[in-house]
Amino acid sequence: MTVDNKDAQKLDNIFEKERKRLKPMTIEEEYRNADVPMPKGTHDLEEIIRTLETRNEYLHKHIEKLTNEIQEIRKDNKHLAQQYDDQLRQFRNKGLI
């Protein structure tokens, strides 16, 4: 499907009208979309900060655990590759391959 200049201009007009019609999100909508409770005062902000710090700590521990698992898998992979090469070399030396 091709779009000529008239169609492109119509689409541009439609997009421009929609852009003008849309309004920026309110602060409440921003908080709702971020899945963070709306602060009601300094106590709420402190609670939100504690919650986010707890999540951050948990995620850092989880990342560290995953990094260790990846390193272990890479080490096992190298070990298995060496075993494979040794086994293949033995078969070739015996004339089985």
pLDDT tens-digit map of 2-21? 667 788 888 888 888 877 77
Per-residue pLDDT, averaged over 26-50, amounts to 80
pLDDT at 90: 92
- Reported as a pLDDT band with limits 50, 70 and 90, residue 52 is very high
Residue 67 pLDDT greater than 90, yes or no = yes
Start-to-end CA distance of the chain, whole Å, equals 58
**What are the residue ranges spanned by the domains of the chain?**
5-94
**Distance between CA atoms of 60 and 37, rounded to whole angstroms?**
23
pLDDT at 2: 65
**Distance between CA atoms of 61 and 13, rounded to whole angstroms?**
51
pTM for the predicted model, two decimal places: 0.49
